[in-house]
Structure 1
Amino acid sequence: MSNLKQVTYHIIFWVVIMFSFAISEWGYRQTFGDAIIYELLYLPSRLIAVYVNWFILIPRVLYKNKFFFYFLYLLMLLAIMAIAHRYFVLYWGYPKFFPQWIQGGHIYVWKFSNLLQAALIIVSPVAFTTGFKLFFDWFKERRETEALRREKVDAELKFLKSQTNPHFLFNTLNSIYGLALEKSEKTPSLILKLSEILSYTLYESNVEKVDLGKELALIENIIALEKERYEKRVDIDYKVEGKVEKIKIPPLILIPFIENAFKHGLKNEIKKGWIKIHIKATKDLLFFMIENSISSIEEKEKGTNESGLGLQNVTRRLDLIYGEQKDLDITKTDTSFKVVLKIKSQ
């Protein structure tokens, strides 16, 4: 906020304060002009009290959690300003504007009731501005905290996403490498599919959200690639329902589940394995279910670190992006591993 704008706001505040008190004082004075003059005589003491409290007592005492000293210094400030105001009006203000108020020529600066009245009149804008500053500073701090939190979340999301791409690439290259060793004729076409997958991950996934249709096209490429690798060893049931073109999701958010199903469901399976993928899009909900058979051969290396990292990664991303707007259920039995994800429309 520019200095000129700040000064303008302060001037408007004091004009509003002065006229508000003048209107309430009007009933006790002969004219509204007398009420205005009366309030103007209080303006210097109010200004000093408000800004000493605003710029010194609140930031240097109250915000340092020195509550006792804050109230002590505030009482001292009000007492000093009440006395100063009494000297100001009795020796200059009243003789100049309200000479009839000087009783018999006697000046009672130290009359307790008058000092208390002056202190109470001065403290009213002090109390109002204190409340306003506390709220303003709290709101500013909350906004800055929220901005820092968003920056932290964005940084974490970028980090998690950066882990997804190389992890996915590593697994895909491993699949093609296995076929290349066998000198399979399918290798060139699989490399072409891989290039399409990489094009998506490199150039189309650098956004917050993508059309679900694009993500499904990527999933279908991965399925095609993996079917070529495993051939008749895997039975895939892939089904999509609903109007997927109206849904947007974070890029690569479903891929770790697909990878996990192929990598750990079929890795050491001699017999035929199976994978079921069901995606349904409605107006209010995106439903994603993937279930795979579990290898009947006990793996010497469980592979839990790599699999666990991928699932932990995507689970954390879902938590950061959707919070309570999603429901993720992962269940494992002796024969199958199942993931059910439900995302509510935001």
Structure 2
Amino acid sequence: MKQKQILLLHIFYWLLIVFNGIIGILVYDTRTFDILSITIFLSNFLGFYTNYFFVVPRFFDPKRFYMMIIGFFVGVFVFVFFRYSIEEIVLPALTGYRNYKEGTTFLYYFYDNIYYSSLTIFVSTNLWFFQYYFKVEAERTKLIEERKHAQLQALKTQINPHFIFNSLNNIYSLVYQNSDQSLPAIEKLSELLRYSTKDLEKDVISLDKEIGYIESLIGLEKLRIKNHEMLVFEKNMTNPKLGISPMLLVPFVENAFKHGDFRDKGFVLKVSDEHNVLHFYLQNFKNQRMKDTASGIGIENVKKRLEILYPKRHELNIKDLESEFIVDLRITFPHEND
């Protein structure tokens, strides 16, 4: 709750107090405020804010409930002390008028005013609790956001090394085969790295940029794959400027190229974004001759990022079958992303 809202609650309470006083005048037909109307209002005001700023913060302890009960009675005592001082000491000295009969003991006065003070102290205490609760909640939310940001930054640092490692493996195989495609592959890799390094610093990029990475990656991989027609890539982009976290889809494609069988088989990649729902579907056949115990690093990274960035707004289904690997991902974006 913002400070402005807390202030409005304070104003609302005092307007109720004033309104109650006006109703009292109309009901009892006194026509004017008497001096006791002023003294009780002043006692309420002083008791309210002394309790609010000093008593409650000092006695609040969730682990010791009895301290809060003591604090409540301290607040009552403060109210009674102010009212007694004003009505039974200051007022008689200035006007010769007092609220109670002369000789009334403080103990009797205290007991008689517990009722009158209870509402003021109760409201004062609860308003402090409101402010305290929302302050703690705001701090907790801030800590969660900072932790999420730190986690995302840590996960992002894992992306480039993983991406470079996979690409260098591909280029190594081209160099090893003395392929004429080695130099073009190095050039394409340098272009990809320039783009990825620049955009990884951002929290969000446009969907068409992410798809652009994928297209560049496919172009790099085509340099070492003979049967290009087996690489089926279908895209249906209705909102290319849809904001997405950078390098969120690329690791799935990297994984397909790293562990896929492209001798006589390929893969099918489909991307669409109808009605603010991104649908990413990838199916590739496994290379049974190549096993890599570290193959899940990139995918595990994406899973963690999805949980942080799109909680309850994404659905990721991965089928790791004997001969093929299927990724089916849906992310629902808010409409303000239009």
Counting only pairs closer than 5 Å after superposition, residues 70-109 of structure 1 correspond to structure 2 as 70-79=68-77, 81-82=79-80, 85-86=83-84, 88-93=86-91, 99=97, 106-109=101-104
Q: Tell me the CA shift for residue 45 of structure 1.
A: 3.8
- Alpha carbons of structure 1 residues 97 and 31: separation in structure 2 relative to 1, 3 Å: farther
Alpha-carbon distance in structure 2 between the residues aligned to 1:115 and 1:235 = 90
Of the three residues 279, 292, 312, the one matched with 1:303 is: 292
Structure 2 residue 265 is matched with structure 1 residue 278? no
CA-to-aligned-CA distance 1:256-294 (integer Å, 9 cap, x gap): 10011111123xx7x523211111121231110011101
Residue type of the partner of 1:303? D
Matched, 1:19 2:18: yes
In the alignment, structure 1 residue 132 sits paired with structure 2 residue 120 = no
Matched residues in 2 for 1:155 and 1:84: separation? 52
Offset of residue 112 of structure 1: 7.8
1:36-58 CA deviation, whole Å, 9 max, x = no partner?
A: x3233135543453344323432
Deviation at 1:339, TM superposition (A): 0.3
Match of 1:30 in 2: 30
Distance 1:123 1:186, change over 3 A: same
Report the equivalent of 1:257: 252
CA distance in 2, matches of 1:137, 1:191: 58
- Whole-angstrom CA distance in 2 between matches of 1:294 and 1:99: 98
Q: CA RMSD in A?
A: 3.1
Output the CA distance in 1 between the equivalents of 2:238 and 2:213: 17
**Distance between the aligned counterparts of 2:105 and 2:60, measured in 1?**
30
SS at structure 2 position matched to 1:32? coil
Check 1:54–1:77 CA distance in 2 against 1; reply closer, same or farther (3 A cut): closer
Report if the CA contact (8 A) 1:83-1:109 is conserved. Answer: no
State the 1:87 CA deviation: 5.6
Please tell me whether the aligned partners of residues 55 and 74 of structure 2 are also in contact (alpha carbons under 8 angstroms): no
Runs of 4+ residues over 6 Å off in structure 1? 8-15
CA distance in 2, matches of 1:210, 1:80: 59
Counterpart contact for 1:234–1:272, Cα < 8 Å: no
2:313 matched residue in structure 1: 325
Q: Deviations over 1:188-238 (max 9, x none)?
A: 222221122112101233222212111112111111111211323982111
When structure 1 is superposed on structure 2, of 110-119 and 173-182 the one drifting more is 110-119
TM-score (norm 2): 0.85
Change over 3 Å in CA distance of 1:334–1:84 after alignment to 2: closer
Q: 1:99 offset after TM fit, Å?
A: 4.1
Q: Is residue 147 of structure 1 aligned with residue 147 of structure 2?
A: no
Asked if the contact 1:291/1:337 (under 8 Å) is kept, the reply is yes
Q: Which has the higher helix share?
A: 1
* Structure 1 unaligned spans of 5+: none
Looking at structure 1, the residues matched to 241 and 228 of structure 2 have their Cα atoms a distance apart, in angstroms, of 35
Q: Tell me the percent identity.
A: 27
Whole-angstrom CA distance in 2 between matches of 1:101 and 1:45 = 13
Alpha-carbon contact 1:78-1:123 (below 8 Å) kept: yes
- Alignment partners' CA distance in 2, 1:147 and 1:119: 41
Q: Counterpart of 2:331 in 1: which secondary structure?
A: strand
After superposition, the Cα gap between the structure-2 partners of 1:99 and 1:204, relative to the gap in structure 1 and judged at 3 Å, is closer
Does the 8 Å contact 2:36/2:99 carry over to 1?
A: no
Query: 2:163 aligned with 1:165, yes or no?
Result: no
Matches of 2:142 and 2:248 in 1, distance apart?
24
Q: Secondary structure at the match of 2:288?
A: coil
Q: Does 1:289 align with 2:281?
A: yes
Q: Distance in 1 between matches of 2:28 and 2:112?
A: 15
Task: Give the residue type in structure 2 aligned to 1:314.
Answer: V
Q: Distance in 2 between matches of 1:140 and 1:153?
A: 20
Question: Structure 2: which 5+ runs fail to align?
Answer: none
**Letter paired with 1:33:** F
- Count of matched residue pairs: 328
